[in-house]
Amino acid sequence: MDCCSSGLRDARVRERLSRDPRHCGSLRQSSRTGHLSLTRWPILRETFRMSRLRRIADRDRIFFVTTNLRPGTTPLNPAERSVILRQLVQQRADRDFLVFGYVVMPTHVHLLLTPDRTGLVDTMHRLKRFSGQKIKTQRRIDAPIWQPRFFDFVLRRVGDFWEKLDYMHENPVEARLVARSVDWRWSSAQQYCSSRPLEKEESLILCADKIDLPLDRGALLNPVWR
């Protein structure tokens, strides 16, 4: 191949690279001929591997999840807190997840859940999207109410489960909203802590799923006990 043909070939390679950003970083020059070439497959294999790892990490675990209102957003009133619980009820009916504990506070939400049909990211996106739409309609505003991201912690041992559950149930008490955790209506504390059956008027919007855990607090939580 003469120098003119070689230069034209290299120009075409560079043009393909500029048109397709997926080839970014995959432009190589032959040590033997000096010609440029595209090596796309290693990048795609790495992308596939990372996507598969995300899918694995997004399921089959119990997560402690926190999502917050945006700074400056008016705190959730009682009716709005119930909207969030009803959205959780709907998503669980659609097999998005199993929920083992929850508390809806005026400024944030804590959940103990394991994704089922969908992954954690899609589950939280759907929760914030639909609950946010309903609350914005009620408030007659256009601005988003939820922060874009959420925080999650993978529970690895039985002790982690009970520690996070106690923490979330005590949130309303620590915030001085109620004297006892069981008095907060937007929480699973009544299921875990109440020594008496709930009266009809006290029935929960969302009942937490039952989970059978080993007595050993050091036992691993993987796979999930259901």
Instruction: Give the integer Cα–Cα distance in Å for 81 and 77.
Output: 6
Strand 151-155 and strand 62-68: the pairing is antiparallel
Q: What is the pLDDT of residues 130-151, one digit of tens each?
A: 999 999 999 999 999 999 999 9
Instruction: Assign 101 a pLDDT band (cuts: 50, 70, 90).
Output: very high
Mean of the per-residue pLDDT values for the chain?
80
Instruction: Assign 25 a pLDDT band (cuts: 50, 70, 90).
Output: very low
Average pLDDT estimate for 175-195: 90
Residues above pLDDT 90, as percent of the chain = 61
Instruction: Assign 116 a pLDDT band (cuts: 50, 70, 90).
Output: confident
Residues above pLDDT 70, as percent of the chain = 68
Q: What are phi and psi of 105, to 5 degrees?
A: -100, 170
Strand 97-104 and strand 27-29: the pairing is unpaired
Instruction: Give the integer Cα–Cα distance in Å for 96 and 90.
Output: 9
Q: Where are the domains of the chain?
A: 3-55, 58-202
Residue appearing with tokens 């029935």: 203
Enter the tokens of residue 14. Answer: 């560079």
Instruction: Assign 171 a pLDDT band (cuts: 50, 70, 90).
Output: very high
pLDDT at 205: 87
CATH of 58-202, one of 3.40.605.10, 3.30.70.1290, 3.40.228.10, 3.40.50.11810: 3.30.70.1290
Enter the tokens of residue 134. Answer: 């309903």
